[in-house]
Structure formats: C-alpha cells, structure tokens
Amino acid sequence: MTQIAAERYTGASVRRSEDPRILTGQGRYVADIKLPGMLHAAFVRSPLAHGRVLAVDVSAARAVPGVVAVFTGADLEAMTVPGPELLLSLMGGGGPMPEYTLLATDKVRFVGDPVAVVVAESRYLAEDGCELVDIDYENLPPVVSAASALDAGSPPVFANLGDNIIGPHKRSEFGDVTGTFAGAARVAEFHIDVHRHQNVPMEGRGCVASHDAACGVMTVYAATQSVHVTRMGVAMRLGMEQDKVRVLAGDIGGSFGLKIGASREELAVAAASRALGRPVKWVEDRVENLTASGQAREESFEVRAAVGDDGVLHGLDVKMVIDTGAYPVMGTMVPTIIEMMLPGPYKLAALGFESTAVTTNKASYVAYRGPWASETFVRERVLDLLAKDLGLDPLEIRLRNVAPRTDPPFTMITGRPLVGVTSKESLERIAQVVDIPAFRRRQAEERARGRYLGIGLATFIEAAPGPRSPEGPSGPMGLEHMRLRLADDGVLTLFTGQMPHGQSHQTTLAQIAADEFGVPFGQVRVVVGDSDVVPFGLTGGSRSATMTGGVTLHGARQLRAKVLDFASHLMEASARDLEITAGQVLVRGDPDSAIPVGEVARQAASGQFGADVDTNFEVEASFDGGEGGWSGGSHCAIVEVDVETGLVKVERYVAAEDCGALINPAVVEGQIRGGIAQGIGAVLLERSAYDQDGNYQSATFMDYLLPTACDIPRIEIVHLETVPLDADVNFRGVGEGGMIVAPPTVVNAIEDALTPFGVRIYEQHLPPARILELIAAADLG
Amino acid sequence: MVDITVKVNGATRTGSVEARKTLSDFLRDDLDLTGTHVGCEHGVCGSCTVIVDGRAVRSCLMLAVQAAGSEVTTVEGLAPDGALGALQQAMWDSHSFQCGFCTPGFVMQATAFLSAHPDAGEQEIREALSGNICRCTGYQSIIDGVLLAAHRSREIPCGREADRGGRR
Amino acid sequence: MKLPYVEYEAPTTVAEAVHLLAEHQDEASVLAGGQSLIPLLALRLARPAVLIDINGLGELSGVSVTDGLTTIGAMTREYVAEESEMVAGAVPLLAAALPLIGHEAIRSRGTIGGSLAHADPAAELPAVARALDAEFVVRSRAGDRVVPAAEWFEGYLATARRPDEILVEVRFSTAGPGTGVAFQEVARRHGDFAIVGLAVSLTLTDGAISDARLAFSGVADVPVRAADAEDLLVGKSPSPELFEEAGRRATADIDPPADLHGSSEYRKKIAATLVRRGLQAAADRAHQNNAHERQ
C-alpha cells in the first residue's frame, strides 16, 4: 500500500506561476495589445498652470495625413455624460464638489491638464497632430502652494467653489485634550512637512478601448487595480449599462495606488472609440506619467505634544493641511485615516486633530502606497525630537510609550483596539538583531575620525485589514468574494476580483486553495482580470492577504465538503471518512480507494444522479475578514552622512515585521523590500517639484530620481511570532507597511548622524544640498 | 521610408520604417516582439534593453535604421521554444520579480554582463545593473537571481554550453 | 515621446558627410552615439530637418598613439576607449573618467566625439578635454581645422564647430612620468551626471608638483579650468593645507547654476571639497607611479 502524501504549500516560498511568462517576455501588458483597425491617441496638454481657454483651433491637426480625428474638451462633453469623478462620488469626502469637464474646456488647472485628444494611425502621427493644435490661453495667476491656497483672496481654481479650501475644516477631539495639555510637564511644538512625491510604476497608465457598435458593447483593456471599478467609471461617464462594458486586464506593470477607476484620459479614449467605431489605444509616456498622472503626500502638520519628563507622550494636537492639487479626489479622504492612525501602537491619552484640504494648480493628489503614511512620519519624528530634548535613547522612549499587549486589548484613543499588536516585541527584536550599544561605540569612534554615522528607529501599525469591528467586515471596501469551481479535468479554478500588479496572487491564492482543497499546486488556476467573469473586487489597502486569502481558504473548504458529500455516494462511505489528498479522493487510511478528483467531477457531471444529490461543483464564497488584525513592526536603519557633500549611504536596514501568518515568505519579503525602497527613495531622491509659476520640474527621470540597485542595501527581515486571532485566517496584509515606516526610519537615522551639529529635522526630503543647508543653519543657530 | 534588414533572434527580419522610428518601437510594433518594454523613452530606466552585436544597449536610444545589418537579441530570443535559460531559471528560483515590467531589461542587461564577467561579485553586479530601474522589488531578489546564475555556471564544468542557457 | 519627422542621411565616407553638412548646415544634426541626441529628439527639444547618421564612418573609429600624442577617432565608442590599454597608459585621466559616464549600455553606443561635440557642461569628457588641453580636429570642404580645448567649448551645448564641419578626431598629449590622475564627482546616484565633477592631473617631480591641471564640470555652462589653483600648486609639495587653499582659489570666482539638484552655493561648496579630495587622490597616484617607475 503506497501512502498518498500531500505537499504543504502555505508558508512555503513556492515559485511563482507568473514567472515563466514574465521572464521570457510573454507577459501581456496594455501596450502589447494590438487589435485590427486600432488607432492611437495622444493628448494636447496645458503648458500653463492656470489659465482660461479662449480658443481651440484643431484644423491644422486634422489635416495631418494619418490623423483620423481630434476631439476637444467641448466635443467630449457632448460625447459623454457630465458628472462628478467616480471615486469622489463613491467615497465622498464631504463638502461641495468641484465642477469640471472631462477634458479642459473653459479652464486649465495644472501644467499637463489634458485639453484635447488627437487620434491617428500611429502614436508618432498623433503627437505630430498634437503639436499643430492651436490654443489661445489667457494666463491666470497660479496657486502653487497650500499657503497661497489658504488665502481667501487667491484666484479660485474652481469657479463654483469660490475659494480654494475644499475639505471640511473639522476639528475632532479624543480624550481630554485640554486637561492633558494643561497638566503636561512639557508642551513642545513642531512644524513638520512631507513633500510631494509620486507612485511612478514602471508601466504608466493606458488602455485600449474598443466599442462594438453592432452589439453595443465597450471593451476596455485596462491597467487597473480593479476591473469592476474601472467598469463603473466607464459605464457612468459613457452613459452605458454596466453589463455593456467589459473590462479586461492582463499583466500590469505596477500601480501603487495610481491605477484605480478610470482616468479622464481613459474615459476620453473610450468615448473616442465609440465615436470612431474603431479601437483606440492610449499609452501614457513617462513625461505624462510624471507630470499629469497624479502625485501624493504633500502635507504639513502643526504639532503640539504634551509629554512627561519621563518621555511618555500623553497627548498630541495636530493641525494638518493637505495640498490636493487640481481635480482633487483622494486627497480629501486622507486626513480622516491619518486622524485615526496617529496614536499608533502607543498609549496616547488624548488627540486633537483638524485638517484643511486645499486645491492648487498642481497635478491631482492620488493614492500612493499607504496614503496615510504621514501619520507614522509625524509620530515617529516627534518621538525622536522629544527624546533628544529629554536626553532619552530612541529605543527607550518608544518602549516607554508602546502599549503592552493586554487582555482586553488596549484601545487607541481614536477607537480601534490594538488586538494582537506586537509592537513591543518588534522593538525588542530590533534590539536583539542590531547591537545598538556596539553601534554607539562605533559611532563615537568614527565621529572622532570625522565620519558621521547614525541609527534610526521607527514603529508602525497598519490596519491590514484591521481588527474585527462590530460594524461589519474588517477593513474598508467590504466583503471579499470568490467563485471556486472544480472542473472535470480535476483543475480547481478560483475566480477573484483581485487584480494583481506585482502581488503574486496567482501563486499565493493557489497555494492556499491547493492546501485547503487537497490538490497539487499545479492543479489550481487563478482567473483574474475579466469583469464579465470575476466577482467584484479591488487590489489595494493591503487587504488581499486576509480578505482574499480568507475567502480562498473558506471557499476551498466549502467546495471540498461538497465534493466529499457527492463522493460519499460514489464511494459508499461516509463523507466524514473521506479526504482529498494530492488530487485524489480516498477513504482515509485506504490508498487503494483513491479516485482522481477529476474523475469524481466527471461522474458528477454524468447526469446519473438524482435531483437530491448536489453535483454542482461550484461555490460562491464570501468572507468578512474573520477576526482580522493588525500588521506592523519596527524598522531600523544605519546610515552614513558625508557632511561635505550631503550624500547619504544606507549601510544597514533591518525590518522586524509582524504580518501574521505568511502565505509565501519570498512574496512577503519582496513586498516589504519594495516598500522600503520607495521610502528610501522618498527621503533621498524623489520630489515632485514645481516652480513658483506652477511649471513642473520633475518631468523626466533625469529630475525625478528613483533609487537604483546601488541605493538600496540588503534589507534584513525578521518575522515576529504572530498572535493568531482567528481560528483559520491569520494572514495579514504587508503591501504598504514598508513604504509607511521607512521614511521616518531613515530620517531618524540621518538626524542621529548629525547630532554633533545640533541638526533637527522637520521634513522628509533630504537631498544632499538640503543636508548641507541643515548643517549650516544649525551651526548659525 | 527606409527598407531595413535586421537579424533578430537568429532570424532575418525586414521592415520599412520611417527614420525616426526607434528600435524599441520597431521590435514591438513591426516585429510583434513585445517582450521589450518601453518605460521612459529617454534612456534612463533600462526596460528597453536588448543586445545588439553582442553589447547591451537601450533600444529606445537607437533608431531602427541604425540596426540594419546588425544582430539583435531580445528577451524572446534567449531560450528557444519559451523554455528558460539558466539565468531566467535562477531568477525564477530567486523570486527576482513582481510586476514584471522591468524584467526583460534586467534579463538582457544581466545576460550581457554575466557573459563578460562570469565571476562577478555582488557589488559589481549591483553597479552593472544600476542603470535598470525596478519599482517593485528593492533589487535584492534580482541581485540574488544573478548571483545564483553565476554560482551555478561555475559549478558546471566547461564544455557543457547547453546548460549556460542564453548566455553567449 | 515619439521623435518628430526628420529626413535621414547615412553617408558612407567622411567626404560625403562633409558634403551633406555643407548643404544642410544648421538644419542638420549629426547622429553619432545618439545617447544624448535621441532623448532630445524624443522630447521634441531638438528639431533638425535632417539627421546625418555617421555610424557608418568606420574611418572615424580608432585609437592610436604616436610621438607623445594620442589620437582618438570621433566615432570611437566610449566602451572601446574604456577597454583600451593604449588609452589607459597614455591618457589615464580619460581612462579614469570613462567608467563614470552613465551606464554600460550608454557607453556601448556613446562616442568620444559625440560627447565632446554635444558639450554638456555636466558631462565628464568635456572636463577631461579641457583639463588636458585636448585638440579638436574638424573637417569641412575647406579642409581640416584644429581647435584647442580652450576655444572649443563656447556655451551651453555650443561648440566652435561650424555648421558645415564635422569633428573627426580628438588629440591628447600623452601623460608624462610621475603623473597621477583622478576624476571625482558628486552625483545623486551611481552613473548619474555629476552635480559637480572634477578632472585632476598632477605630475610630481622630485616630490614637487611640476604640472597641475584641474577642470570642473557642472559649475558653468562650459567646463572650467581652475587656472588660479593650478598656478598655486606648481612648484609646491603636496599637503592637505595646500590642497585646501587650492580648493578656495578654484572656487573663488565660479558662479555655478542652480537647479533641482543643488543651489549655486551648494555647488560651490562641493566643488571645493572635490578639489581637496581630487588633488589628494591624484597626488597619491602620482607618488605610486613615481615609485613604480623607479623600480
């Protein structure tokens, strides 16, 4: 009797199913799509930050051989249904909505604002056409800073709003703010700035829209984080029934929050396809991506901190201003999350928070990996600044403030319980992995030689998806759905609304399904990217590990139960005594009884069984997140600052992470390292810069600098023992954490390196020139 | 329009192109070899890297007409019939990539580099690949893939060329 | 970012190229390596009517050393010069600068002549040419003309090459015994254009500096020779104090541009640091070479 053994996949670094095609150039990205009769679009974009459009003359452009059509903003208004931006209307930041047209008609509001679209036989010809579109603008004074936008006299970016303050100016208080500040041993004040930077996926935005007039169906090949949300956006704007819009997505070259819904350009392209009766492709180039796709993180904070002489932070009072650029969408929602997350895993007793969102003549604020990340930056910067004032070590001040794991769990003053949070353990783990006292000795020796090394720490938690709440599903965006089907070839297919763009879902979900259902990994297929076929879903918010991992686990178990119920008829055994192992259905302990699961499925499909026997091997499962939970951890960086040039080298980087149970350690670690790289990039290299006239200055990779293989060190990752909260689903999200906590980790280290100069840092972007300025200013002060 | 003949992945290919068409667009649009990706069109990101006459080059910084008479290798040409060459295999084993958009550029650049520097260590590999940008991985897994390929190639005695996969 | 329409010529001889330039003058751009020109075309910042592709001019490639003069053909690829033992021995400053130019893929196509004719003040080769008083040989229908480096760089991306001339070769004097070189730069990332760069060559004779050459990239719209610093150094023994003073002299009169990567003041500061570090590195190598030569 040979035993049938099953390989266990969950928890193993199973090689990715995606890779054979990726590594051989067989991936299929939007730019790779070719359809018969396909045309190419290019956009005419505003060269001004703020202006009135007086006249648009497209006659010369239309005359270019190979140019098939030119649509102005006015044309597109006639071709589409006017209305508010999809995401804004779905998530509603509150307050009056700015009114604007799909492409600019009467006004342009940022450099790069699309004004017209040229459709031609090739992208080369379309760009030739764009150069010949003649537009008369009246220059208007641009509003280029939050400070000027706050001025009631600044020219309104949106006429219907009257001024440039767009977010409700609301103050919340949690705990006894007044009393806490009145009774504090010390009150410190800081102004902290986070600079504008952006997603920059290696693949920009783009789509191919193909309208079939004969059956009234619009097919959009998209690069998106959700085919369903894109479908909603297209249907809404084109005035079509959702089921007449089909959105397909293949491989996607990264997104980091950028590619959600349908952009103004994509909607214009869809409308053009419908008007022309031919497929139209638009692939944004790098200048467009950097200038016009959207930017993030431009926020400033007035912070008051009520602290004891022992370094315990009792209260924070924060006033935030967020610059949401022109055409604000995401920006109005970010302050709410920041407010909720500011206390972090600390015993903060009181929080006052108010925020103001302004609109300016810059690219729109979009979601960028951990959109609320500034709460961790502010909190972890403040702790270090307080530690310095009090003569405390950065590890020590955090240990004094971190909430220990108690039962019932400590609750953040803003309401969420810190159930299962291992922040204290993560700090202790850092101290084990990094010999901090030895570093301090080395630091002192090197200082004597004129070399400046520094060490920085930071701690974070992330609601990935967050703890179970009485209100409903863990985390935002509701229940997660999945359809699972066993075919009569024995292949288990998972249909999910997840839309991987680097997350490796086609591997990780198959690992879970293989384990829970009982088939080999290679016998599971994950279907994504077809709005006609997959249930609603969105990849984002670090939700998929828990939500999709969980629905896969439970759905696979449900389907297994169904199959075994049926098999009990086939095999004349009780379902209780049956199992599915390595793709075989067998009586437990009797390998000779094994039947391949495909054979069982074929029997079920044969029609031999009565109506009382369930032979439909398909399950529609949904999952509410179970007990949910937090992800989090502590990071530590050691840097060297060359105080003559301002160049910073990250010598060592350690991440002590708790992201629950790991589905695929290699995938998890890749996500963590990628996020950390973006955080290092933000501090040392990346800035979306505008001059005082609103001209965009970081429009190519010569000026918007991304970190390279020489900028990111080997990142050591230690996984903490997680606290299981749920009986079954303890996978937690990890996609955003690295990007959230790396910036303060690195800034803290730089400030530590510059301690001998008396430097204090209240900002996130530290290019070499800035470091020398900080040193010089501290010398003078 | 200029008529050109180029050897691409071992096959003679012809085309009729405007002089202004880049090699990257010619490969992708005229020859349907979409494995070469376009990430910036100004020669910084390296996604478009191919091998021309034995040297890794940025195909967005060459005109198609300039490749006439040359031998070009793209990612599709590294291993026949969609099989994986040794470097690609090592990268698969090392979980080198995530979204995959930068991947062909890295594979081509690393292929050219390892060909000339089979004994390269980590720092040399990092510098050699510092002209290729990846936004997803933080590079460590890519470096590990290249190191693994280099390590494996040293374990194979000379003469077993087939095992060296796509490297010359 | 697609290139605009251009006419295209691919001459097979230098004479043909010269003829085309005489015909088209400043309506033509010469396409050599393309690593600088093609991005400008893609951004539609350059709008020539004609591209004259000189990649077919094999006669313009090659390195030769005769009688203390190293001649490098304009179409010599940067990677070829980088791998050339002749260049390493005869023009060590050029050999030191070449690996800093972009990345290997750029150097696969980029050319010595192309970089010097493009004359980006932030690039490495213009600073090297200026430091070494290289000679530029240009050819027109009227014949050849030799332009010294001091006159070659006229302004931002502007050289003394007339619209009907083609750069055919660049000549460098062979480095003498006891010479040590360094090319130092402050760049945001490995392979980037330097914010400020410095080409240094020092010759030590009997422990004293007998020849000193310093030229900056990135501090003006052309490479800048630090003549005052050179005057200070000649005849003296290397020392940290001397190099510190040289740094002050070298940067006293420069007024560098400001951009996203650094203010004028920042560039001035790091320029002085580069002088100190560059001179030390060059002096160390000169000592080594002297010791080596004595063996």
- Residues A478-488 have pLDDT tens digits of 899 999 999 99
Q: How far is CA C148 from CA B46, C72, C81, C121, C171, in A?
A: 36, 15, 21, 17, 10
Question: How do residues C233-281 score in pLDDT, each as one tens digit?
Answer: 999 999 999 999 999 999 999 999 999 999 999 999 999 999 999 999 9
Among residues 33-52 of chain B, which lie with CB inside 8 Å of chain A?
Answer: 33-42, 44-45, 47
Question: Is C58-173 CATH 3.40.50.300?
Answer: no
- pLDDT for A471: 73
Residue A416 domain-assigned (yes or no)? yes
pLDDT at C47 over 80: yes
DSSP secondary structure, A41-90, as one string = EEEEE-SSSSEEEEEEE-HHHHTSTTEEEEEEHHHHHHHS-----HHHHH
Query: Neighbours of C (≥3 Cβ pairs closer than 8 A)?
Result: A, B
Distance between CA atoms of residues B130 and B133, nearest Å: 7
Query: Cβ of A408: how many Cβ atoms within 10 Å?
Result: 7
SS3 A380: helix
Residues of B with Cβ-Cβ distance to C43 under 8 angstroms: 42
Show which of A578, A604, A623 is a domain's final residue.
A623
- pLDDT for A2: 58
Nearest CA in chain B to C37: B61
From the list B2, B43, B131, the residue facing C39 with the nearest CB is B43
Q: Does B134 contact chain A (CB < 8 Å)? A: yes
pLDDT at C119 over 70: yes
Domain residues for the domain of A49 are: 33-140+205-252+259-292
From the list C8, C34, C190, the residue facing B61 with the nearest CB is C34
Is A477 buried (19+), middle (13-18) or exposed (0-12) by CB count in 10 A?
middle
Whether A562 and A639 map to the same domain: the answer is no
Phi, psi of A623 (to 5 degrees): -145, 140
Q: Which residues contact A460 (CB under 8 A, 6 or more apart)?
A: A344, A345, A376, A380, A632, A633, A634, A635, A737, A740, A741
Mean pLDDT of chain B: 93
Whether A440 and A571 map to the same domain: the answer is no
Nearest CA in chain C to A706: C189
Q: What is the CATH number of the domain that holds A461?
A: 3.30.365.10
CATH level 3 topology of C180-294: Enolase-like; domain 1 (3.30.390)
Asked whether the beta carbons of C245 and C214 are under 8 A apart, the reply is no
Asked whether the beta carbons of A648 and A771 are under 8 A apart, the reply is yes
**Are residues C43 and B42, on separate chains, in Cβ contact within 8 Å?**
yes
Distance in Å, alpha carbon of C179 to nearest chain A alpha carbon: 27
Whether A288 and A306 map to the same domain: the answer is no
**Are residues B56 and C191, on separate chains, in Cβ contact within 8 Å?**
no
Secondary structure, 3-state, B87-137: HHHHHHHCCCCCCCCCHHHHHHHHHHHHHHCCCCCHHHHHHHCCCCCCCCC
- C7-53: which CATH number, 3.30.43.10, 3.40.390.10, 3.30.1490.190, 3.65.10.10? 3.30.43.10
Whether A610 and A638 map to the same domain: the answer is no
Query: Cβ of A676: how many Cβ atoms within 10 Å?
Result: 29
**Are residues A670 and B137, on separate chains, in Cβ contact within 8 Å?**
yes
Asked whether the beta carbons of A350 and A386 are under 8 A apart, the reply is no
Residue of B95, B123, B127, B143 for testing the chain A interface, max A β-carbons within 10 Å? B95
**Are residues A677 and B102, on separate chains, in Cβ contact within 8 Å?**
no
Secondary structure, 3-state, chain C: CCCCCCEEECCCCHHHHHHHHHHHHHHEEEECCCCCHHHHHHCCCCCCCEEEECCCCHHHCCEEEECCEEEEECCCEHHHHHHCHHHHHHCHHHHHHHHHCCCHHHHHHCEHHHHHHHCCCCCHHHHHHHHCCCEEEEEECCEEEEEEHHHHEEECCEECCCCCCEEEEEEEECCCCCEEEEEEEEECCCCCCEEEEEEEEEEEECCEEEEEEEEEECCCCCCEECHHHHHHHCCCCCCHHHHHHHHHHHHHCCCCCCECCECHHHHHHHHHHHHHHHHHHHHHHHHHHHHHHHC
Q: List for chain A the helix, strand, coil content (%; round to 5).
A: 35, 25, 40
* First-last CA distance in chain B: 34
Residue A385 domain-assigned (yes or no)? yes
Nearest CA in chain C to A43: C1
Show which of A578, A601, A623 is a domain's final residue.
A623
**Are residues C266 and A768, on separate chains, in Cβ contact within 8 Å?**
yes
Whether A635 and A723 map to the same domain: the answer is yes
Distance between CA atoms of residues A711 and C70, nearest Å: 37
Domains of chain B as residue ranges with CATH: 2-77 (3.10.20.30), 80-164 (1.10.150.120)
Residues of C with Cβ-Cβ distance to A124 under 8 angstroms: 2-3
Residue A455 domain-assigned (yes or no)? yes
In the DSSP assignment, the letter for residue A31 is G
**Are residues C266 and A769, on separate chains, in Cβ contact within 8 Å?**
yes
Residues of A with Cβ-Cβ distance to B107 under 8 angstroms: 23
What residue type is B154 in one-letter code? R
Asked whether the beta carbons of A578 and A518 are under 8 A apart, the reply is no
∠A316-A320-A322 over CA atoms, to 5°? 155
Question: How do residues C156-210 score in pLDDT, each as one tens digit?
Answer: 999 999 999 999 999 999 999 999 999 999 999 999 999 999 999 999 999 999 9
Ranges of chain A whose pLDDT falls below 50: 1
Burial state string for A144-155 with b = 16 or more CB within 10 A and e = fewer than 16 = bbbebbeeeebb
Distance between CA atoms of residues A333 and A94, nearest Å: 9
* H-helix or E-strand spanning residue A263: none
Residues of B with Cβ-Cβ distance to C6 under 8 angstroms: 19-20
Whether A466 and A499 map to the same domain: the answer is no
Distance between CA atoms of residues C195 and C187, nearest Å: 5
Distance in Å, alpha carbon of B19 to nearest chain C alpha carbon: 6
From the list C1, C5, C270, the residue facing A286 with the nearest CB is C1
∠A630-A631-A637 over CA atoms, to 5°? 145
- pLDDT for B159: 43
- pLDDT for A166: 87
Provide the number of structural domains found in chain A.
3
Whether A677 and A761 map to the same domain: the answer is yes
Asked whether the beta carbons of A304 and A316 are under 8 A apart, the reply is yes
Q: Which residues contact A438 (CB under 8 A, 6 or more apart)?
A: none
Domain ranges of chain C: 7-53, 58-173, 180-294
Q: Does C155 contact chain A (CB < 8 Å)? A: no
In the DSSP assignment, the letter for residue B83 is -
Distance between CA atoms of residues A624 and B9, nearest Å: 51
Asked whether the beta carbons of A677 and B139 are under 8 A apart, the reply is yes
Residues of C with Cβ-Cβ distance to B52 under 8 angstroms: 108
Distance between CA atoms of residues B96 and A188, nearest Å: 46
Distance between CA atoms of residues A258 and A197, nearest Å: 12
Whether A657 and A727 map to the same domain: the answer is yes
Nearest CA in chain C to B41: C1
pLDDT grade, residue B160 (50/70/90)? very low
SS3 A733: coil
Distance in Å, alpha carbon of A124 to nearest chain C alpha carbon: 5
Q: What is the CATH number of the domain that holds A277?
A: 3.90.1170.50
Nearest to A376 by CA among A433, A337, A413: A337
Residue A542 domain-assigned (yes or no)? yes
Nearest CA in chain A to C272: A644
Side-chain-side CA neighbours of A710 within 13 Å: the count stands at: 20
Query: Cβ of A310: how many Cβ atoms within 10 Å?
Result: 12
Nearest to B23 by CA among B75, B58, B73: B58
**Are residues B65 and C103, on separate chains, in Cβ contact within 8 Å?**
no
Q: What's the longest Cα–Cα distance across chain B?
A: 50
Query: Cβ of A103: how many Cβ atoms within 10 Å?
Result: 27
Show which of A623, A651, A671 is a domain's final residue.
A623
Whether A459 and A557 map to the same domain: the answer is no
